[in-house]
Amino acid sequence: MKSAKTIVLVLVILQGGFAGIWKLQHTIDQQRAALSEERDYVLLSSAKLMKMMSLEYAPLMADFYWTRVVQFYGNKHVRGDANLEELWPLLDITTTLDPNLMVAYRFGAIFLSQRAPGGAGRPDLAVQLILRGIKANPDYWRLYEDLGFIYYFDLKDYKKAAEAFQEGSKNPKALIWMKVMAAKIAAEGESYETSFFLWNDVYTNTKDSQIRENAKLHLQLLKVHEDCKQLDLLADEYEKRFGHRPKRVSELAQAGMIRGVAADPLGYPYVFDDNGKAAMDVNSPLLEKQLLLERFK
Burial of 206 (0-12, 13-18, 19+ CB in 10 A): middle
Q: Tens digit of pLDDT for each residue in 198-254?
A: 999 889 988 888 888 989 999 999 999 999 999 999 999 999 999 999 999 999 999
The fold of the 39-215 domain, in CATH, is: 1.25.40
Give the span between the Cα atoms of 148 and 156, in whole angstroms. 10
pLDDT > 70 in the chain, percent: 76
**Alpha helix (H) ranges present in 43-86?**
47-54, 58-79
* Per-domain residue ranges of the chain: 39-215, 222-283
In this prediction, residues 255-262 reach a mean pLDDT of 93
Which of 234, 223, 219, 233 is closest to 263 using CA atoms?
A: 223
Count Cβ atoms below 10 Å from residue 175 Cβ, excluding itself. Answer: 15
Per-residue confidence band for 87, with pLDDT thresholds at 50, 70 and 90: confident
Query: For the chain, what is the mean pLDDT?
Result: 82
So what's the pLDDT on residue 13?
A: 46
* Total-model pTM: 0.70
pLDDT > 90 in the chain, percent: 54
182-187: Cβ within 8 A, 24+ apart: 182/148, 185/148, 185/152, 185/158, 185/161, 186/158, 186/159, 186/162
Q: Tens digit of pLDDT for each residue in 58-79?
A: 777 777 778 887 887 666 555 6
Q: What is the phi/psi pair of residue 191, to 5°? A: -150, 160
So what's the pLDDT on residue 36?
A: 47
In one letter, which amino acid is 216? K
Paired with 278 in beta bridges are 272
Q: Tens digit of pLDDT for each residue in 131-177?
A: 999 999 999 999 999 999 999 999 999 999 999 999 999 999 999 99
Count Cβ atoms below 10 Å from residue 219 Cβ, excluding itself. Answer: 17
Count Cβ atoms below 10 Å from residue 263 Cβ, excluding itself. Answer: 15
Q: Which residue has the higher pLDDT, 118 or 275?
A: 275
So what's the pLDDT on residue 249?
A: 95
So what's the pLDDT on residue 49?
A: 59
So what's the pLDDT on residue 119?
A: 81
Per-residue confidence band for 18, with pLDDT thresholds at 50, 70 and 90: very low
Give the span between the Cα atoms of 70 and 63, in whole angstroms. 11
